[in-house]
């Protein structure tokens, strides 16, 4: 097996194909081990030297996934000759480029002969789940002990803070963030730099920096994982924001359901204070900043900026009208910058690696408009009917198909993919026909969903779209704060209509009324909770209207899920009379002799589905 499969070369970079003009490719490892060994410094040195010898058109530098030779890192494979260099150092590069790339003489002293591989264990870069991921916000995942501040520092932690305090004016930091095109990872997608700029320029003292860790979407746990695995990345991001904005006070609003995250955050803040990385006169540069934790009770609406701030002030977590911006009148009526956990975790990387590098990842062009694209990566929690569930960080612009099938490994149990729900209760459902959609803020909004904080719930053919919409609406009925009428009453009406549809009691014309109510709630609600609440209904109506119509017109649930509309029965041709279902049935509703086809007594059946789950012959069917 070659160190880097050819397939990989071609996928990763179009220059791998013939006729591109490059005679040589330098495949430099960007695995965790090699990056901490300095592979990006080597990349810069290579590019510098290649330019010096005017070889840029002939030789391309390509960053690749891990080779599995981390102990010899940083490693580089020269293609097409398959020459493997190891333990490279920045200082070696001028010599290497001159000898090998210019004069064509491979340099033996840097070469490494790979041992014959004994093991059939694949490499990380060959595992579908990891192959297409790219870790920025999660750069330290699984690598550092989150409770040891020195381990964060050892992986370039607090260097970005040192850099801004030593070399950059606050305005420069703001300009850098605007140029980077970083957009809010909590879901809104508002350009972070613009927010910082507005807050910086807003009159009023003191200013506050707040971190929104009130992650409430069902099935989403990106923020929890970042805080648990790498709390200092959030603290450093907040400190940089504070410097840029001119604030000396920060808060983290985190829900009490995250005890481990809370514990690690408290330890991280205490350690950072001990080292003088929080507190007064940080790095002796005259900059003061400290962070306190505010524990929320777990109300979904408190993820909304104004409700969050009301909750912090000790008032009920209710939002207010949006025309007053929190960057100008936020916490205690002072200018307040609120960003999400993942947004802050991205900040140190952007400062250290620079705008040019960051904008090379992602979609669109943000050079003169921060809304012009989606740059960097996004973390998703991939859950539901998918083989590999977990936390995935992918570059913006990757397709849903790649996330669900290449990373997620497809749908388990031979079932068919039906839809994917993104953006949580505020998001929408995306059907199979849109699987090749590149994932970024604007594309998801265009198809009626949204990026949201990053929950991604995969659904298969057995999921009923009306039932899904009902689930999210019922969640929001519970979570609506009740302050404004459209959200409080409208959602209840929507929920009632959906329940009628699911139970087969809906009248003709209900879908029109449902749509109208949804549009009213969306346009008249006070905050984003109500404003986006109808999305799960509207998007399922848009893409799965026939399923709604089957419920209303034919009193039939095509997915076989809505209990009032289905009957369980046993296919006599398939049943071999094993008695398994009869034994498991909690109602004793299944009759039949051993080795004879069984029958379900419909009047006793409570449609729990246990018989279908236990049957080895798929003989239990739904009508």
Partner 1 sequence: MPRLKIEDLDKIVEQKKKTMSLRDGAGRVKITVHMGTCGISAGARKIMAEVMRCVEESGASDIVVTTSGCAGFCSREPMMTVEVIEQAPVKYVELDMKKVNIIFDEHVMKGNIVKDYALAVGSEQTL
- Is residue 162 a contact residue for partner 1 (CB under 8 A)? yes
Structure-token pair, residue 66:
């891990």
User: For helices 259-274 and 231-245, what crossing angle results, to 10°?
Assistant: 60
Smallest distance from partner 1 to CB 135, Å: 4
Binding residues for partner 1 restricted to 164-183, rule: CB under 8 A: 165-166
Smallest distance from partner 1 to CB 182, Å: 15
Binding residues for partner 1 restricted to 406-465, rule: CB under 8 A: none
CA-CA-CA-CA dihedral for 400, 401, 404, 410, to nearest 10: 160
Q: How far apart are CA 253 and CA 230, in angstroms?
A: 17
Q: Which of 71, 108, 205, 356 binds partner 1 (CB under 8 A)?
A: 71
Strands 590-591 and 599-600: antiparallel
Q: Which of 8, 67, 336, 374 binds partner 1 (CB under 8 A)?
A: 67
Binding residues for partner 1 restricted to 107-126, rule: CB under 8 A: 119-126
Count of residues that bind partner 1 according to CB under 8 A: 74
Q: How far apart are CA 59 and CA 576, in angstroms?
A: 67
- Is residue 44 a contact residue for partner 1 (CB under 8 A)? no
Q: Single out the segment in contact with partner 1 by CB under 8 A; choices: 50-58, 275-283, 434-442, 488-496.
A: 275-283
Residue with tokens 């609600």: 525
Buried b (16+ CB within 10 A) or exposed e, 423-435: bbbbbbbbbeebb
Nearer to partner 1, 350 or 559 (CB): 350
Smallest distance from partner 1 to CB 33, Å: 5
Nearer to partner 1, 34 or 582 (CB): 34
- Is residue 79 a contact residue for partner 1 (CB under 8 A)? no
- Is residue 191 a contact residue for partner 1 (CB under 8 A)? no
Q: How far apart are CA 445 and CA 508, in angstroms?
A: 31
Nearer to partner 1, 228 or 547 (CB): 228
Q: Answer for the pair 473, 495: CB distance below 8 angstroms, yes or no.
A: yes
Q: Answer for the pair 149, 327: CB distance below 8 angstroms, yes or no.
A: no
Smallest distance from partner 1 to CB 37, Å: 9
Binding residues for partner 1 restricted to 374-393, rule: CB under 8 A: 387-393
Binding residues for partner 1 restricted to 199-218, rule: CB under 8 A: none
Q: How far apart are the first and last CA of the chain?
A: 52
Q: Which of 22, 27, 33, 244 binds partner 1 (CB under 8 A)?
A: 33
Q: Which of 88, 345, 349, 497 binds partner 1 (CB under 8 A)?
A: 349
Structure-token pair, residue 154:
């050892």
Phi, psi (degrees; rounded to nearest 5) at 97: -65, -45
The H or E element spanning position 559 is: none
Q: Single out the segment in contact with partner 1 by CB under 8 A; choices: 48-56, 185-193, 221-229, 490-498.
A: 221-229
Q: Single out the segment in contact with partner 1 by CB under 8 A; choices: 139-147, 247-255, 327-335, 425-433.
A: 139-147
Q: Answer for the pair 186, 215: CB distance below 8 angstroms, yes or no.
A: no
- Is residue 353 a contact residue for partner 1 (CB under 8 A)? yes
Q: How far apart are CA 104 and CA 425, in angstroms?
A: 59
Q: How far apart are CA 317 and CA 311, in angstroms?
A: 5
Q: Which of 85, 221, 417, 441 binds partner 1 (CB under 8 A)?
A: 221
Nearer to partner 1, 285 or 545 (CB): 285
Nearer to partner 1, 63 or 310 (CB): 63
């Amino acid at each position: 097996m070659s160190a880097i499969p050819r397939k990989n070369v071609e996928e990763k970079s179009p220059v791998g194909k013939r006729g591109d003009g490059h005679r040589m490719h330098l495949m430099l490892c960007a695995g965790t081990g090699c990056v901490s060994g300095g592979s990006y410094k080597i990349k810069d040195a290579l590019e510098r030297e290649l330019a010096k010898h005017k070889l840029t058109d002939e030789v391309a530098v390509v960053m690749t996934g891990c080779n599995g030779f981390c102990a010899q890192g940083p490693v580089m494979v020269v293609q097409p000759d398959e020459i493997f260099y190891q333990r490279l150092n920045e200082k070696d590069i001028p010599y290497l480029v001159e000898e090998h790339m210019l004069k064509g003489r491979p340099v033996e002293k840097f070469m490494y002969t790979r041992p014959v591989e004994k093991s059939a264990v694949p490499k990380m870069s060959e595992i579908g789940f990891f192959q297409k991921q790219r870790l920025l916000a999660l750069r330290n995942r699984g690598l550092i002990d989150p409770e040891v501040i020195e381990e964060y520092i050892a992986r370039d932690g607090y260097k970005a803070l040192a850099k801004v305090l030593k070399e950059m004016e606050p305005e420069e930091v703001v300009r850098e963030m605007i140029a980077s095109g970083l957009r809010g990872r909590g879901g809104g997608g508002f350009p972070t730099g613009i927010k910082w700029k507005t807050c910086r320029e807003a009159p009023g003292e003191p200013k506050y920096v707040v971190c929104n860790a009130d992650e409430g979407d069902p099935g989403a746990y990106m923020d929890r994982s970042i805080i648990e695995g790498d709390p200092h990345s959030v603290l450093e991001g907040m400190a940089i924001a504070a410097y840029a904005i001119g604030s000396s006070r920060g808060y983290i609003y985190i829900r009490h359901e995250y005890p481990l995250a809370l514990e690690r955050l408290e330890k991280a803040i205490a350690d950072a204070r001990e080292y003088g990385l929080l507190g007064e006169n940080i790095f002796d540069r005259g900059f003061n900043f400290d962070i306190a934790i505010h524990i929320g009770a777990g109300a979904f609406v408190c993820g909304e900026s104004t409700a969050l701030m009301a909750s912090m002030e000790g008032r009920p977590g209710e939002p207010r009208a949006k025309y007053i911006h929190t960057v100008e009148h936020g916490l205690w009526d002072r200018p307040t910058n609120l960003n999400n956990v993942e947004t802050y975790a991205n900040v140190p990387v952007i400062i250290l690696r620079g705008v040019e590098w960051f904008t090379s990842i992602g979609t669109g062009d943000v050079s003169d408009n921060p809304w012009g694209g989606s740059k960097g990566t996004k973390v998703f929690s991939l859950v539901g009917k998918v083989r590999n569930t977990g936390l995935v960080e992918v570059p913006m612009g990757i397709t849903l198909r790649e996330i669900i099938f290449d990373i997620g490994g497809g749908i388990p149990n031979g079932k068919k993919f039906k839809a994917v729900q993104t953006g949580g209760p505020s998001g929408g459902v995306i059907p199979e026909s849109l699987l090749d959609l590149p994932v970024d803020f604007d594309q998801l909004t265009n198809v009626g969903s949204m990026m949201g904080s990053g929950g991604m719930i995969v659904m298969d053919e057995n999921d009923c779209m009306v039932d899904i919409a009902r689930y999210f609406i019922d969640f929001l009925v519970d979570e609506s704060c009740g302050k404004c009428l459209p959200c409080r009453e409208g959602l209840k009406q929507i929920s009632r209509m959906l329940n009628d549809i699911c139970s087969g009691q809906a009248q003709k014309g209900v879908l029109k009324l449902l749509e109208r109510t949804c549009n009213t709630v969306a346009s008249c609600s006070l905050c984003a909770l109500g404003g986006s609440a109808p999305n799960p209904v509207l998007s399922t109506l848009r893409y799965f209207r026939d399923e709604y119509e089957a419920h209303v017109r034919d009193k039939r649930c095509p997915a076989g899920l809505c209990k009032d509309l289905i009957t369980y029965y046993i296919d006599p041709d398939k049943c071999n009379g094993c008695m398994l279902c009869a034994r498991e049935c909690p109602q004793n509703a299944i009759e039949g002799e051993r080795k004879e086809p069984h029958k379900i007594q419909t009047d006793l059946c409570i449609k729990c589905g246990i018989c279908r789950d236990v049957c080895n012959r798929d003989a239990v069917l739904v009508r």
